[in-house]
A and B are shown apart, each in its own frame.
Chain A
Amino acid sequence: MSSEFDIIITTDRTMMTNHRGKEFIGFMTTGPALGMPERLWLWMCAPKPKVDDLGRPLEAPYGLRKIEAALQDAGFRAAIIDPDHLGRHIERAKVLMVGHHDYFALASPSIEWWLITGKEPVNRRSFLRLMRRPEVRRARERGLRVIVGGPAAWQWLWNPNYIREFGVDTIVDGEAEKVIVDLAKRALEGGELPAYVYVGPHDAPSVEEIPDIRGASVNGLVEIMRGCPRGCRFCPVTLRPLRYYPLDKVEREMLVNAKAGLEGCILHSEDVLLYGARGLEPNPEALLKLHALAKKHFRTVAWSHATLAGVKYAQERYKLITKITEVLYDDHQDYLGVQIGLETGSVRLAKIFMQGKAAPYRIEQWPEVVVDAMAILHEHRIIPALTLILGLPEETEEDLIATAELIDKLKDYRSLIVPMFFVPLGRLRDRGWFLREHLRDEHIEVMRKCLWHSVRWAEDIISKFYLRKPSQAPLRFMLKFFISFVKWRARQIEEQIQRARSEGA
């Protein structure tokens, strides 16, 4: 391929990295640098990837790979370029495409780290630095067209000054594989570009229209399905039609990653255990074939997301968690990581916002489902990073107490619990934001419980699972230092709160 690319696809360093092969370290890019200089922080959580002699990264975010594939399949000279190598290409490029999970740190958990600490998260700072580079500015001034998209595309509407400052021509919100080819054609021909495109579910690509990635994805992530049938109202994924990738498509993408030398694979779905499901009924055959396939090509396999009801039902009905871990665990792997939405301990809120989350169990059983599933995960050495939402609309003191009580019941189960402030997305796009001034004692209590639960288990997870190799000693040391700093700072804050309460009493 020619070294001259008409279309450059990129993102900032906090995204263009493999987070040292550990997805949970990627969480650090959503916070500000704490207890150490930002350069050291970024060294820990967002190291530079290997690149080829054109500056193309060996591993790149999966979403960008899909856009690259759609453009290359359509015959465009397009490539993902590492942000450090933009200068070599941007002078001659005609279009810059940028994607991000959280451009301006407005999504969770970035926004609460920002609100709590009062410091800008590094993902936002890194992105703004990228867009303010002299070579990017010069290219814009000579007519480079800028198209932005990805899961955080909505954030541009809240930041019109940056649309202006960075000369953004088009914002694409939603699954872009079908629309991006037409936009690229118009951009290259100097044609009119829309300011905003929202891709509705009717225009989402079918499985056949979703291109296979052509270059390796970060940590070997491959999609196995899109959409989710559970219908949680705060989640944008449930707005999309449900599509399962057939196994041959999944394998083609796995092979791209395997050929690039990656030894690990992340199966991506909002609920991996629903792969090939009939409604919410798991498909054991499809799941076991999928995991056997992944294990055939990779030493280690992880899940992006699962659900607690899915875990409980799959195990109780089919012993699937046992069967899947039997497929996965061997000399190379003896644990599995996953992100799971706990969301709330309140049955009342669960009924309002996530009726399908506990299915096939009744939503009234939600706390019981959570505890049972966590016991199953713990027993099978599956380590979840649980997320919960603070500030859901209509949330009351009793709801927060229910959440705090549920966290207490999880204390013996190996996990991280990350509280997230409500951000209006999905079917709640038109609701109000949860802001710092909305914080009350019960929120702080929930956050305090999450913090102590997480730091306790983080030390165990780092030492015994994630970073136990001798070669990982420096990073292990740095992370343990960071955890010690967090504990020290948390104790200080707790004392301050206690004093304030005593003085107010």
Chain B
Amino acid sequence: MSRFTADVYQNEFLPLGATEVDAVVTVTALDGAVAGVVAGPIRAAEVVIVDTSGSMAVPPTKLKAARQATAAAVDAIRDGVEFAIVAGTDRATPVFPAHGLATASAETRAQAKAAIEELEAAGGTAIGSWLELARELFAGASVDLRHAILVTDGQNQHETPEELERVLAACKGRFQCDCRGVGTDWEVAELRRVASALLGSVDIVPRPEELAADFRAMTERAMARGTADVALRLWSPQGATVAFVKQVAPTIEDLTERAVAVDVLTADYPTGAWGQEARDYHVRIHVTAREAGDEVLAGRLGLVVDGALITQALVRAIWTEDAELSTRINPEVAHYTGQAELAEAIQEGLEARRTGDEAGATFKLGRAVQLAAEGGNEGTLQLLGRVVDVDDPATGTVRLKRHVEDVDEMSLDTRSTKTVRVQRPAS
């Protein structure tokens, strides 16, 4: 159980007639128990889903790497954690144990690794059926934290998008799932949809041999999470509408559609399990304009941890005729507005490039270079540099590269939602 703090960054002064209130809220989970709550290791369950479709055999190093990675994940599972390994083709098959979940110990880990060695590649890809089996396995466990890792190398060919959507709806809120794509034959948008619905991350693992380190890191991170179930709770006044609630760091994730109504003025936005970490959120609320000098609360943002409301931050609005005050630009809001635009510009630019719209692609990717340079997104700039030749980052003057490796395009697409935090002067 962690201690949480919430800090608000906004310009609360609005010109007369204005209705739009923007604020960035930084939520930090610190180590240490909340007063009055008994701290203890939380009980966890881990399911590793490994793609064993026929394509995993080509080249043979891919399945070998997947086996090693799954074994590495098993090694990272703490004693006492409930776990299972699932093989995915056009259906899901338990690899270890044969039924339900096993309790991790030196003995069960060794048995699991022996079973993983026997994995062979054959058959198709139906991601929904894999998730469905994971859901059933988790349903039988009485634990606080349920985490899955899914790795695939191909597109979801053996079920319809509607079937996948139906499974995702059933799995939402039941467990979290981090997704990894190996090679370049999988579809970024598809895996992003799965990860987003299941509050997990998505990334590309360009080379199979990098998979083991990544699996170990993901499992360790999941095990280190001390708080199983955290939601943002946003109250806004009568007559107000919540335009959006977005996670903006460490990655961009629009939470608006996840709202679960608490009462007519309040909604919860699930954020999953937390370790010792900080996440930033950008909220935009439309309120009714008031007279000069009036102040209202546009939003009250709280955190609900295991059902208890534990901290809150106030988003305010004060109307003023003083342009000096109302035109001040809040650096946090401006930064994350830019970061959101950056992710959009990359995704739209790559889409334009795929459809042969060279002018559109050059414009959007040029804008992306400019925003990445302004925002200090060094990693994103490097990835952009493999897709376009940059003449001038300040003005976003770029030329599309004639030849782009698939892996570079997919890396840029997958990592487009990764943001950098506001550079604050050291105080």
Chain A bound to chain B = no
